[in-house]
Structure formats: C-alpha cells, structure tokens
Chain A
Amino acid sequence: MAAEAIERYTADVIILGAGGAGLRAALAIAMRQPAARIALISKVYPMRSHTVAAEGGAAGVTQSHDSLDAHFHDTVSGGDWLCEQDVVAYFVEHAHEELVQLEHWGCPWSRTGDGRAAVRAFGGMAIERTWFAADRTGFHMLHTLFQTSIRYPSIQRFDEHFCVDLVIDDGRVQGVLAVEIASGEFRLIAAKALIIATGGAGRVFRDNTNGGIVTGDGMALAYRHGVPLRDMEFVQYHPTCMPGTGLLFTEACRGEGGFLLNSEGYRYLQDYGLGPASAEPRNKAMELGPRDRLSQAFWHESRKGRTLHGPHGEYVHLDLRHLGERKLRERLPQIRELALTYLGIDPARAPVPVLPAVHYTMGGILADGRTAAPLAGLYSAGECSSVGIHGANRLGSNSLTELLVFGKVAGEQALAFAQGVGHGAPARLGALAEASRAAALEPLQRTGSGERLATLRNELTRTMQEGCGIYRSAPSLEATCARLAQLRQAWHGAQLDDRSRSWNTEWLALLELGFQLDVAQAMAHAALARRESRGAHQRLDAGCTERDDALFLKHSLAYHDPAGGPPRIEWSPVTITRSAPGTRVYGAAAERAGVTLHA
C-alpha cells in the first residue's frame, strides 16, 4: 500500500474549508490578484458547508440612529469584556460594507418597502442592525458566495477532499495532505500560505445544532503543530433548539416577538434580570437578552421544577402564536417548516418545545487582528479562528458578518505573505507527506479487538455534556478530563468494519474523532483552569461563581502536548482600548444605563 505515489499539486494559497469564510477569502484573493493560484479544499461540496444552516442574520450598523460605537459596546459587553477591542473596532467598521458587497453579488436580502435592505432585532443588540434573508440567511450567503466564486478560474476546487495533516517545514506552512474521498487517494497540495476556515467543533457535545461535519478538524490540525487554541472554554449554548435532535430555531423567532414560557405559561426570563416583560419585543431585554443568560435561565428553571417534560427530557415553550401565520410564512418560513415536519406542530397554533443546545465555539486558532497565527504562513477565519471579537459570549448575527470581514482579511494577508516567499523543497515536502500518509492509514491496518467508533464518540459527547456543559465545576471538569484521557488511549485501538478506500466514511469519521478529542481536551482543561464565571463559562464551585477580573481578565491558551498528555494552559492579556470592564446589564437596568449614558 505504501508504494503508491502521492499525486502533487501546487498553489500560491491553500484555503482549507469552503464555507462562508473560506469562500470569502478565495474571492478576496481572486479579485486582488487574478494570477495567484488558489487551492480551495473542502471535505464536502461547498454548498454543504455548515454556514448553510445559519438562520437569523448578519449584523452591521445600518440605520441613521445607530452607531459603530453602539455595535462596539454591545459586542464587548456581550462578550463579558474578553474581546480584543481593537479587533472589534475593525470588525464593526467593516461590517456594513461587506453586507453591501454580498448584496452586489446577488444575495437575496429581505427588503423594506422602499427597496433597501431590511434589518431585524437580535439578542444583545441595542438597535436593529441584523440583515437577513428570511430565516435562511446563512444558506443564501453561502450559495451567493459559492456561485460567485465560479466566476474566477484562479480558484481550483478540491471538493470532497479530506485534509489529514498540514505539511510544515522550515518553520512555515508549506502545504497540506488530503484524501480524495471518492477514491481514497492521497494528494499533496503544496503552497506558500494556508488559510484554515473549517468552522467550529460543536459535535463534541451530545445535544448540538451543528451538522455532522462540524468536528473541529482545522483547529486540531493547527493545534497539533504547536499553534495554541485560545478561549476554548467558551462554548455557546443556543437557548431555543429542538429536543432530541438539537436542531435550531433561530433567535430571529424572538427578534420577531416570540416568547419563552415555562411549565406555568410564565415568561420566566423576568426573574433573571431581563425584565420587565412587555408584550412588544424590546432590544436587550427578556427574550432579546444574550444567549448565555437565556441558556443559564433554562438551567435555573429546571432546578426550580418549572420546565416541561417530554420523551427527550426537559423543555420550555417557544410561543410564536401571536405572530400569526402570515408573518411566520414571510419572516420565519423555515422555522415553520421545521416545526411542522419534525415535530408535527404548527407554530401559528401551538407553542414549540425548545431547550438549549451547543451551537458555537467562541474560541479557536489563535489569530492576531489580521488573522495571522503564530506560525509563518498560517491564517484562520470564521468559527475555527479566535480573532478576538466574541470574547466569552458571541452575540447572535456577529458570526455571519465575521465570516465576511475576516475571510476577506485572511485572503489578503495570506496573498501578501505568499507573494513574499518561495516554494519549499519538493523532496522534503514529499518525505513529510509520506509520514503523514502512513499515520492516516494506520487505523485501516489495525488488528485486535478495540472499541467501535460510535462507542467512543458517544462517550466523548456524553462526558462533555455532563462535565463541561452550561454549568461546570472542578469535580465535573476533572472527571471529564480524566475520561477524555482514557478515550484518547482507546482511540488508538478503535476497530473499523470497513477497510476499503473508496468513500470509507467510517475511516474518515475515526480521523475526525481524533480531531474532536484534541479539541475537547483543550475545552475541558481550559475550563478547569479558569476559576471564575464569565459569559458562557459558568462555574458552580465555591470561589469561582463570580467574574474575577483581577486574575482572569485574560485569554486562555491551550497548547498541545506532542507526548499525548493533557494540554498546557497559559494566559495572555486582553486588549482593552476604550471600554473598561463593567457590569453586563439587560432589561430595565440596561434602559436606565442607556438614559444615563445619553443624559
């Protein structure tokens, strides 16, 4: 098996991942420098990427009474002051032009009566600034970007190619080794720069909104080569997901005026500093509070015995009945379809059962404000990246815009780097690729009686859910860390039914599980080390239940241990430019603060 030659390709820049961020990066390069050769590699066809599932919208300051400053402050306070403030400033400044750019490429944004792009309210945003295409915003953004990319012949796609390793030589990224899934054949793609845009890692948790492909591949690939993962303990639970499957009911349901009700039919969020409960939606109040607070309120309602119980456990009600069928059809057609098809519920007539599920990884590959990793030639953008805008809790509708703003930056930065360096020595790259191929093929040659893949994966998602969920504590996290170490051992002996090469998705899923274990370890160990509560990271153990700026107004950095041990956690400072850490206030308190601010 080792005798077959590895097919070789050469590009200037490789983009790994063809979702929103990867496609935007590819377009940035193709438009800036048509002569630059781009290799766009994805384990699925681009339009299958998980950007497709984003529903609600993309934020950018649009209305005349809104301001960049307001978007900045919503984002920084929403992130519990763990944001890189200089990066947030860049982000809000470039958000609107990117949404316009997408409009010029044909994105079917929903419109106001006079033909402008419409904006809707979103959680944690003081003023309506979320552009949307009904409730299929990510779908339309992805298809628009993919279809626009077809214009540019300099983008060479490697669809359905699975990346098994980065090729790093002479202190910089020089290429990747990928498997063509249909044939099982390996391809070495050499390049002068690499952008990782592979998305998040939500599939390490049992209840999640993510597609099956969201397995943290790019995060783990960079991590294994010494690049730290930053702020991995911050994992976002989306408060309104479908019991059993975790499928998402967009925050736009609440932006359009939906209510959350407990078993007594009571809008319980008013008990958690988000009230008072008014009939009309109010920005930054009640159901339009931030996602971390809403998911935590569910947990407390559960403790109080005020949730409902169904075949898939506890839930609360998302009540959309008062919006009426016409508005549901116009503004939330997919939500209506999901509820009808999957639950047999017409949201115009009955409340929809929902619960929190893992939705988004705030942390990711360490990136500076211009997307560069601390490894020459490596850049990252999108959910896999920690460029620094989300802090401890992402605001809904900031991430779709992030794909555009930082996808473009990553493309331009990677291109500039590639123009300044040459290609590496082919013989050396070939030798590195041979070694990576042997490691990737090893599971196909195992003999013995190890565990089934699914057994290990189920155990991974169970232990993450139980020990590293909405609320954590030192004992729960220690137990999860110990279990993850055992699972890593067991992974090396896992047995496959399928030893073939063409479309062997069992083999690829085992490689994905290896990525997931790396990412899960980074999450759990960073969570254990952060002995405070901030944003989406909430601890129950004594001394850790409050935010502690004196000790933990810092980013965590998880470093991979090449010897197979647990990650090493280090800390790095947070860039504070103009917003000193304060108290996050929502509901009436936020309105009072707003009055004071403007008085």
Chain B
Amino acid sequence: MPEPARAAARSITLEVLRYRPEIEAAPVWQSYVVPFSEDLSVLQALQHVKDELDGSLSFRWSCRMAICGSCGMMIDGRPRLACQTFLRELLPGPVRLEALAHWPIQRDLVIDASGFIAGLERIKPYLIPRQPRPLAAGEYRQSPHELELFEPYSACINCLLCYAACPQFGLDPGFTGPGLLALLHRYNADSRDGGRAQRMAAVNAEHGVWSCTAVGYCSEVCPKAVDPAHAVNQNKVNSAIDYLRHLLAPRGAPP
C-alpha cells in the first residue's frame, strides 16, 4: 500500500475464528482492534489481545524466531508462522486468523497435531546404520557434498504449514504428507544410513508418496525452504526404482 496510508495506520482489526469446546458448539468469528506498528508481528498482536483484551484467546507459541514451529496458522487464508508475519504486510486489514487448515481444531487457533506425531513415529525418522559403529571409531566421514544431499530436508521445523497447504491431505487425512515425506527422504539420503528399504514401506503404501498430486503449494509455504515437493518427487523416483528392481530381480537382489 502507498506510504502515506501506512503511516496513517494506527490500529488494525484482527478477525479470529474462535472455538471453545466448553462454550461454542461450532466456531465463531470474533474481532479485536490492536494498535499498529511497523515491526509488530501477528504473534505480538495476538499476545496484545491475550494480555490486554481477552485472556481467553488460545494459541500456541514459544520461540518468536521461526524455529520452534509452534505458531502456524491461517493468516488471510494462507498458512504462515505468526511470529514471522508482520502486520505491515497485511494492511489495511482486517486480518483473518484461523487454525491451520485440514487439522481438527482443539480450541481457537490450536489444532490437534496428534496425527502428525503418530505419522512421525511410523516413518522411522532416525539413522539406521548399516552396521554398528562404536564410539571409539569416532565420527563417520561425510563430505560437505554428502551433507548437502540431505541437509536441506533436515531443516523441517514440523510447523505443519505444508499440510495446511496440501489439497491431498485435505481430502485424505491418512496421507503421510509433505513434511513427513521430506523427513523420510532426509534419512534415506544420508550417507550414514542403511534403512531405506525399511522406510520405503511407508512411502509405497496406499497413503504414501503416490498419493501426492504434485501441486507444489507445500514448498511455496514452507518457512524454511525445505522444498517438500522436491523430496516427494525424489521419493517417487526411489519408489519407482525399487519397483523396477523388484520386477527385474524378484529374488535375492540387494536392496
């Protein structure tokens, strides 16, 4: 917006989708007017509401610096982190805030993330070494290039914005989804790991990688440039290779 209008903004309206299971049968919109300043984030605006206007508004937050992954929400219809979204980007308002799409709401802006945690436990997100390595052997040798092959996928903060962006997850809550497929690829692509065959079971399954319809919005909304869409593609390639290998050498072939 033009500079004069920006300078004139003294307050901005937040429209928040509220849901309190003990009070409302269904979500309702509620408006709050908060003071505007150039460097105020949506999270700080919500904190102002909670501190000064309405202590009953609930939302998750902690680090304030886009690394803990707590404060994902729909901001004007787009999944974003409240702590790194600034009111100045959203002038003149009103700013519409809702819980992350595609997840059950527990209360107000708080989603039920237990499905993600269950998925995390399913995909074996840990190093499965080819053989045991004693501590005395020191660290694995891993070249900077080998690190680069998986490091970008290890930057996922589990904020779940990509799930709110994923149309397929919206249709099928059982879909493993972009964040977890990126994490799975992170371990498969790690030169220290030997667990790919075990993990590909999750990728090839009904709700695995082939459910992805390649929309790519997940990568667009990722606050850490993890590019889950690319990871999903890599998984599709790996999955296809596994399938072909299986066809060509059905017995006794190394994974």
Within 8 Å of chain A (Cβ to Cβ): is B220?
Answer: no
A52 within 8 A of B: yes
Instruction: Tell me the chain A residues, 86-133 only, with Cβ under 8 Å from chain B.
Output: 97, 100-101, 103-106, 108-117
- Could you say which of A44, A106, A247 contacts B62, with CB atoms under 8 Å apart? A44
Q: Decide if A226 is an interface residue (CB 8 Å cutoff).
A: no
Given contacts A115-B143, A147-B126, contact A503 B67 (CB under 8 A): no
CB distance from A230 to the nearest CB of B (A): 27
- With A53-B68, A106-B192, A497-B54 as contacts: A182 and B143 at CB distance below 8 Å: no
Distance from A211 Cβ to chain B, minimum over Cβ atoms (Å): 4
A434-477 interface bits toward B, Cβ cutoff 8 Å, 1 = contact, 0 = none: 00000000000000000011100000000000000000000000
Does A45 sit within 8 A of B, measured CB to CB? Answer: yes
B126 and A506 contacting across the interface, CB-CB below 8 Å: no
* 0 or 1 for each of A326-346: is its CB under 8 Å from B? (1 = yes): 000000001001100110000
Among A217-270, those with CB < 8 Å from B are 244-245, 247-248
**Inter-subunit contact A503/B127 (CB<8 Å):** no
Please classify the interface of chain B as helix (H, G, I), strand (E, B), loop, or mixed, using the class held by over half of its residues: loop
Interface residue? B206 (CB, 8 A): no
Choose, from A135-143, A161-169, A380-388, A530-538, the stretch at the interface: A135-143
**B144 and A113 within 8 A (CB):** yes
CA distance A326 to B20 in the complex (A): 49
**Residue in B61, B66, B154 whose beta carbon sits within 8 Å of that of A143 in the complex:** B154
For residue A502, which residues in chain B have a CB less than 8 angstroms away from its CB? 20-22, 106-107
What chain A residues lie within 8 Å of B151 (beta carbons)? Answer: 108
Within the complex, what minimum Cβ distance (angstroms) separates A249 from chain B? 10
B193 contacts A by Cβ under 8 Å: yes
Whether A501 sits at the interface, judged by CB under 8 Å, is: yes
Provide the bound-state CA to CA distance between A562 and B127, in Å: 48
Q: Give the interface centre of B58, B108, B139, B154 by most chain A CB atoms within 10 Å.
A: B139
Instruction: Choose, from B8-16, B110-118, B166-174, the stretch at the interface.
Output: B110-118
Given contacts A45-B113, A150-B126, A212-B62, contact A108 B154 (CB under 8 A): yes
Q: Which residue of the partner chain A has the closest CB to B88?
A: A344
- Establish whether residues A501 and B22, one from each chain, have CB atoms under 8 Å apart when the complex forms: yes
User: Could you say which residues of chain A place their CB within 8 Å of the CB of B67?
Assistant: 52-53, 136, 139, 334
- A503 near B58 with CB under 8 A, answer yes
Per the bound structure, the CA–CA distance linking A564 and B59 in Å amounts to 33
B233 within 8 Å of A (CB atoms): no
Contact A103 B139 (CB under 8 A): yes
Within 8 A of A (CB), among B50-91: 50-52, 54-56, 58-70, 84
Task: Enumerate B91-139 residues with CB–CB distance to A below 8 Å.
Answer: 106-108, 110, 112-113, 117, 120-121, 124-127, 129, 133, 135, 138-139
A50-B63 CB under 8 A given contacts A104-B133, A108-B154:
yes
* Minimum Cβ distance to chain A for residue B138 (Å): 6
The residue in A104, A150, A496 that gathers the most chain B C-beta atoms within 10 A of its C-beta is A104
Which partner residue on chain B sits nearest A117 by CB separation? B139
What are the residues of chain A within 8 A of B121 when measuring CB–CB?
A: 150
Q: State whether A454 and B52 are in contact (beta carbons under 8 Å apart), knowing that A106-B127, A139-B67, A151-B126 are contacts in the complex.
A: yes
A residues 53-73 with Cβ under 8 Å of B?
Answer: 53
Find chain A residues with CB under 8 A from B106 CB. Answer: 182, 502-503
User: A314 at interface (Cβ–Cβ under 8 A)?
Assistant: no
B126 to chain A: closest CB distance in Å?
5
Contact A115 B142 (CB under 8 A): yes
With A115-B142, A502-B106 in contact, is A244–B39 under 8 Å at CB? yes
**A365 on the interface (CB 8 Å rule)?**
no
Question: For residue B193, which residue of chain A has the nearest CB?
Answer: A106
Query: Of B65, B108, B193, which one neighbours A338 at CB under 8 angstroms?
Result: B65
Docked Cα-Cα span, A230 to B138, in Å, equals: 36
Q: How far is the CB of A195 from chain B (nearest CB, A)?
A: 22
For A244, list chain B residues within 8 Å (CB).
39
Alpha-carbon gap, A314 to B144, bound state (A):
40
- CB-based contact B147/A108 at 8 Å: yes
Q: How far is the CA of A490 from the CA of B226 in the complex (A)?
A: 47
Cβ contacts under 8 Å, B58 to chain A: 503-505
A452 touches B117 (CB 8 A): no
A55 smallest CB distance to B (angstroms): 9
Encode B176-217 as 1/0 by CB contact (under 8 A) with A. Answer: 000000010001001011000000000000000000000000
Does any Cβ of A come within 8 Å of B17's Cβ?
A: no
Q: Is A498 part of the binding interface, using a Cβ–Cβ cutoff of 8 Å?
A: yes
State which residues 10-57 of A face B: CB under 8 Å.
Answer: 44-45, 47-50, 52-53
A337 to B70, alpha carbons, bound, how many Å? 18
- Given the known inter-chain contacts A111-B142, A505-B58, please indicate yes or no for A136 contacting B125, CB distance below 8 A: no
A sample of 5 more A-B contacts (CB under 8 A), given A104-B192, A116-B139, A500-B20, is A44-B60, A104-B135, A212-B61, A245-B64, A342-B39
The 3 tightest CB contacts between A and B, nearest first, are: A454-B51, A497-B55, A115-B141
A-B contact pairs, 10 of them (CB 8 A): A50-B63, A53-B63, A100-B135, A106-B187, A108-B147, A139-B67, A150-B126, A211-B63, A334-B67, A502-B22
Q: Enumerate chain A interface residues (CB-CB to B < 8 A).
A: 44-45, 47-50, 52-53, 97, 100-101, 103-106, 108-117, 136, 139-140, 143, 147-148, 150-151, 159, 182, 211-213, 244-245, 247-248, 311, 334, 337-338, 341-342, 452-454, 496-498, 500-506
Q: Which residue numbers of B lie inside 8 Å of A, CB to CB?
A: 20-23, 39, 50-52, 54-56, 58-70, 84, 106-108, 110, 112-113, 117, 120-121, 124-127, 129, 133, 135, 138-144, 146-147, 150-151, 154-155, 157-158, 183, 187, 190, 192-193
